[in-house]
Amino acid sequence: MRPMLPVIVLTARGDEQDRVKGLRMGADDYVVKPFSVKELLARVEAVLRRSPERPSDVGRLAIPHGTVDFDRREVRFDDGGRTGLSDRELELLRYLIQNAGRALSRDEILSRVWRINPQTIVETRTIDMHVGRLREKLRDDPAAPRVIVTVRGKGYMLAEKPKAR
């Protein structure tokens, strides 16, 4: 898993186009000199509050009717069935777990899991398609999901806090 470090640009370049460019390139904040230490510390605290939790390694995740085994890259069902998971599906599921209890926008998922700047793309359904495929592999009923829920107007989130198995 790649680290998701917040970025604050500290610079003397304060023109609007410089600030906009810095933020569009992925900075979480943009601070122009001169600034006080108090302001900088307040901005660091704000960025950290908005940042997702640091990644933690996930070995297994209990789901209805089975277990996701991240080490073996598969879903094992209580009825003996198994389904393999792709790298992207595992990354997506890990990101959802790391942000359990928080609705994630499609843009955030695209940025953090796919490492693509959402502003450079006109329109994409890739997040919805991957979530759909992942739900299918997890046997998560899209009409009444119990693992990955859709948050209307926002995106997706893990249905409940993950339980280790």
Does 118 share its domain with 39?
Answer: no
d(CA 33, CA 51): 24
pTM greater than 0.85: no
pLDDT for 4 beyond 90: no
Residue 30 and residue 20 in contact, taking contact as beta carbons nearer than 8 Å: no
Does 82 share its domain with 150?
Answer: yes
CA 128 vs CA 10, 134, 160: distances in Å: 36, 10, 20
Q: Which tops the pLDDT comparison, 59 or 66?
A: 66
Number of domain units in the chain: 2
Which domain covers residue 36, as residue numbers?
8-50
Does 143 share its domain with 67?
Answer: yes
Q: How confident is the model at residue 3 (pLDDT cuts 50, 70, 90)?
A: very low
Does 71 share its domain with 118?
Answer: yes
Identify the DSSP state of 32: E
Does 88 share its domain with 132?
Answer: yes
- Domain CATH number, residue 21: 3.40.50.2300
